[in-house]
Structure 1
């Protein structure tokens, strides 16, 4: 491992401590230091971490699961007008262009947090495996410093300028990479895409929905995170492996998909609730809301 043992210890959480959104864990001191970071050094650290992960046995299973999910989701794309010449060219070459886009929220301060750096490196591996162009991956976290945004652009990613609060509408098959994000972010994403047609386009790599339900009081879970509560019975979760030495980085991670056959068989009442989540009963929301002007 390229990082020092001391640096690694900084990133580790105490065993049994409640997980909080990484977006709430960055000190003003570290943010200040990031403004003066050497972009080249940070990019090299990320690429070194990427190379390390590529040699890990568990990465092959992550890759395989993504390819299976991406193939299924691509067959559920929305109807669109296609250029006849483009279709003819693809037919001649016997291929289809990569269909997936990617949206990543809540990475955290990857210049100072080792866990966040590993998660960013894993994102880059997944993009490569899924043949998703770097520019087609949009990333956002309110805690990114200007230096970190420059690093992400240097890597080729698209940095969003607006806090969407997770409310991103999937217009085509989309991978949402949400590592250890707050439940409200997942809930907002589901609300925005709450229809059988839209959810079939959604692939999530993040925390297990069933795990969220197990860790909460059922009544509060249904009241505060109603879309996740309903999605548990609509989605298919596949737990992704995690080596013990990276347990604080990739623990409780699943790939979550919404098979069309299950969505289409669901009762019509499933889609009746369309109200935007408000979270008035959630003092510990684990999400940074966008700033509003009075």
Structure 2
């Protein structure tokens, strides 16, 4: 049996695990294993996984949705300014996106994380986003994993931003199966019509988050997601049954300018930073508790 086949037997036995926060405590034995990684072998596995996904029908639909959403978002921006657009040698305008990826998980030991990394690389290629313009971070990355990400050409962040990254140009945020607090923090940091119009998210469906939560607690603990549900446009992304633990409940989320214009100015100005003191199931590694 191939390595991929053996890995998927393990993945199926862990069904449901990837839906939980991937940034969890890692044992010292596991860290030691990661530091002794065979870099060449892992890079080959990542590239093999990428080649496998490219042959899947659902990938074409992901690619189409990314290009359509990015095109619509940037076309709307270009009506007012070309600050985020560049022209090639022939004078044609082409789209410029950057990317931020949080919470990828330990892709050296977790099959789901490795598939999600492969998908990220494919999306960057499809969106013509230079590898160095994609910043990645997870508190549980080992030094060997960080080296591999740099070898791939990605930019590895050194600080735990807790998702609080302000979009100053059109940005794709790739947050696969991350905790709600990470999404909530991201929305808070970009809580203005100008900033949200620059944000595109590939991650968990906001609508599904709300449907699976107790309404009162959801509004209280994750108020920015709660409000964003009615502001955003979600397009569900397909997921084949054999990859249900990897890509389930994923959507591409954008914020149409027309929706943002309908919000009273007071909603933007009264935007306190999220506090999670009373949240007992916080799915995020905060700066003061990172490993």
TM category (shorter chain) comes to: over 0.9
User: Deviation of residue 268 (structure 1)?
Assistant: 2.7
Deviation per CA, 1:197-216: give whole Å up to 9, x if none: 10010000000001000011
1:201 aligns with 2:183: no
More off after superposition, 144-153 vs 274-283: 274-283
User: Deviation of residue 80 (structure 1)?
Assistant: 7.3
**Distance between the aligned counterparts of 1:140 and 1:284, measured in 2?**
22
**Distance between the aligned counterparts of 2:40 and 2:88, measured in 1?**
42
Task: Report the equivalent of 1:37.
Answer: 37
1:1-294 equivalences under 5 Å are: 2-12=2-12, 19-24=19-24, 26-75=26-75, 76=77, 90=87, 93-291=90-288
Q: Are the counterparts in 1 of residues 172 and 199 from structure 2 also a CA contact under 8 Å?
A: yes
Q: Are the counterparts in 2 of residues 115 and 248 from structure 1 also a CA contact under 8 Å?
A: yes
**Distance between the aligned counterparts of 2:23 and 2:13, measured in 1?**
15
Deviation per CA, 1:80-126: give whole Å up to 9, x if none: 769xxx97xx3761422431000000000001110000000000000
User: Deviation of residue 145 (structure 1)?
Assistant: 0.3
Q: Are the counterparts in 2 of residues 235 and 259 from structure 1 also a CA contact under 8 Å?
A: yes
More off after superposition, 60-69 vs 96-105: 96-105
Q: Which runs of 5+ in 1 are unaligned?
A: none
Distance 1:33 1:250, change over 3 A: same
User: Deviation of residue 283 (structure 1)?
Assistant: 1.5
**Distance between the aligned counterparts of 2:274 and 2:24, measured in 1?**
21
Q: Which runs of 5+ in 2 are unaligned?
A: none
Q: Give the secondary structure class of the aligned counterpart of 2:201.
A: strand
CA RMSD, aligned part only? 2.2
**Distance between the aligned counterparts of 1:111 and 1:130, measured in 2?**
26
Q: Give the secondary structure class of the aligned counterpart of 1:237.
A: strand
**Distance between the aligned counterparts of 1:241 and 1:65, measured in 2?**
10
User: Deviation of residue 266 (structure 1)?
Assistant: 2.1
**Distance between the aligned counterparts of 2:140 and 2:69, measured in 1?**
30
Q: Give the secondary structure class of the aligned counterpart of 1:266.
A: coil
**Distance between the aligned counterparts of 2:288 and 2:277, measured in 1?**
17
Structure 1: 4+ residue segments shifted above 6 A: none
Q: Are the counterparts in 2 of residues 149 and 159 from structure 1 also a CA contact under 8 Å?
A: yes
Q: Are the counterparts in 1 of residues 17 and 245 from structure 2 also a CA contact under 8 Å?
A: no
Matched length? 287
